[in-house]
Amino acid sequence: MAFLFRLIQKCGLFTALVLLAVIVMLFPNDFRQIIKPVTSYSNDPLVVLVWNWPFLTNFTAGRDVCRDLYAIENCVLTCNKSMFDRASVVAFHHRELQINISDLPRGTRPPNQKWLWVSLESPSNTKRIRQLNGLFNWTMTYRKDSDIFIPYGSLMKRSQHTNVSIPKKSFLSTWVISNYQKKSRRAKVYFNLSKYMQIDIYGKSVKRYLAKKLLLPTISKYAFYLAFENSIHKDYITEKLWRNSFMAGSVPVVLGPPRVNYEEFVPSDSFIHVNDFPSEEKLAGFLKDLWQNRTRYEQYFNWRKHYTVKMHTDWTERFCTICTKFNSLPQSKIYDNLHDWFHK
Ligand SMILES: *[C@@H]1O[C@H](CO)[C@@H](O)[C@H](O)[C@H]1NC(C)=O
Ligand SMILES: *[C@@H]1O[C@H](CO)[C@@H](O)[C@H](O)[C@H]1NC(C)=O
Ligand SMILES: *[C@@H]1O[C@H](CO)[C@@H](O)[C@H](O)[C@H]1NC(C)=O
Ligand SMILES: *[C@@H]1O[C@H](CO)[C@@H](O)[C@H](O)[C@H]1NC(C)=O
Ligand SMILES: *[C@@H]1O[C@H](CO)[C@@H](O)[C@H](O)[C@H]1NC(C)=O
Ligand SMILES: *[C@@H]1O[C@H](CO)[C@@H](O)[C@H](O)[C@H]1NC(C)=O
Ligand SMILES: *[C@@H]1O[C@H](CO)[C@@H](O)[C@H](O)[C@H]1NC(C)=O
């Protein structure tokens, strides 16, 4: 308002109106957002159809699951493909789609229906995405710039500072790896590091299987955890950091996107980055010194006075967030080149 008055004062009413009209024409979406009614007039529930439930696990909850579990009203979550014509959003999980790319809805697509592309895998592990160019209106991925952002984990500010308890440490460092490939960068970094320091390795592929319920208790006995991502991409920070390191109470040594990208999600003193060292020998030296100085080691736990860690693992919860985000998502959007968007 103040802006409008100043404009009128400066250049007269007519010029001010012309200027305003030009601004509205240049930024129509912003103005539509401002004048749009907050609540929808219709009482028909929003229908969200999940075309292929992730990992082919069966979705058994009732149609009101979002209300029952998360108090989200007026939203039906369903896997019933007969609801296609009534769905406002159809969500496609890429992992199943890439197995059979022709498993897409047939027939005409209702006007205004939004197709949502869903994936938590990195571009390196995403196949046949080019064939999906021009199909989707929205994306839901671990990337911050997705229409719906679904990180693997997040930090929540504590309402009040608390004392931190650090699990008792008995060993230096560990790595749990389900898919060990000798030629991968992370395996090479591990191999080089292991020449200079003790690293206990667990996982199916190295024949030291760790049962799920032993995962966190085992890691928590180690001072450091190698949180090495399977591939390096912007924002691709997975449960290797959130669960295996943070939930276990072990200090992460990360291999992934650059430090600045990690710092968009977690405090700079909550992790050690492989790239901060010119060689594995230097990194190993740093870790061993840190381990010898309890005061310095404990500084990597200071952030926990202010934050708690939340893991996000529940697909029902993720799909229900579509209901709450629906009204604030862009109304006319098309991913003409989903491949390039995801690989950029
Ligand atoms: C899901 O349902 C299908 C068909 O009803 C059945 O064949 C399959 O075993 C079920 N899968 C799981 C994981 O329960
Ligand atoms: C799927 O939806 C159709 C149309 O609303 C309905 O007739 C059918 O009973 C539903 N099937 C299941 C298994 O709920
Ligand atoms: C792929 O999906 C299509 C359409 O649903 C189906 O007809 C076809 O049998 C599927 N192919 C495979 C290999 O599952
Ligand atoms: C934190 O630790 C200090 C010193 O041990 C103690 O005095 C204080 O009561 C503790 N605060 C909480 C919230 O536990
Ligand atoms: C591992 O060490 C070798 C020999 O020092 C070095 O050439 C190589 O670049 C290192 N590999 C990685 C991934 O850092
Ligand atoms: C341990 O680290 C602290 C903080 O950096 C430092 O003040 C102290 O001198 C170190 N202690 C030893 C024994 O090196
Ligand atoms: C959604 O995407 C489809 C396919 O590109 C497009 O035809 C349709 O117009 C888009 N819908 C909206 C509301 O923008």
pLDDT per residue over 92-141, tens digit each?
999 999 999 989 999 899 999 999 999 999 999 999 999 999 999 999 99
pLDDT confidence of residue 5 = 53
β-strand pairing of 307-311 with 272-273: unpaired
CATH of domain 155-311: 3.40.50.11660
Question: Would you say the CB of residue 83 lies under 6 angstroms from ligand 2?
Answer: yes
* Best residue among 296, 297, 300 to mutate for probing ligand 6, ranked by most atoms within 8 Å of CB: 296
pLDDT confidence of residue 41 = 45
β-pair partners for 174: 200, 225
| C-alpha distances in Å from residue 205, one per residue of 104, 176, 231 | 35, 10, 18
338 has pLDDT over 60: yes
Ligand 5 centroid vs 182 CA: distance in angstroms?
Answer: 13
Query: Which ligand is in closest contact with the Cα of 96?
Result: 3
Q: How far apart are CA 338 and CA 344, in angstroms?
A: 10
pLDDT confidence of residue 8 = 56
Q: What are the domain boundaries of the chain?
A: 2-34, 46-150+314-343, 155-311
β-strand pairing of 75-78 with 138-141: unpaired
Q: How far apart are CA 90 and CA 169, in angstroms?
A: 48
pLDDT band per the 50, 70, 90 thresholds, residue 2: low
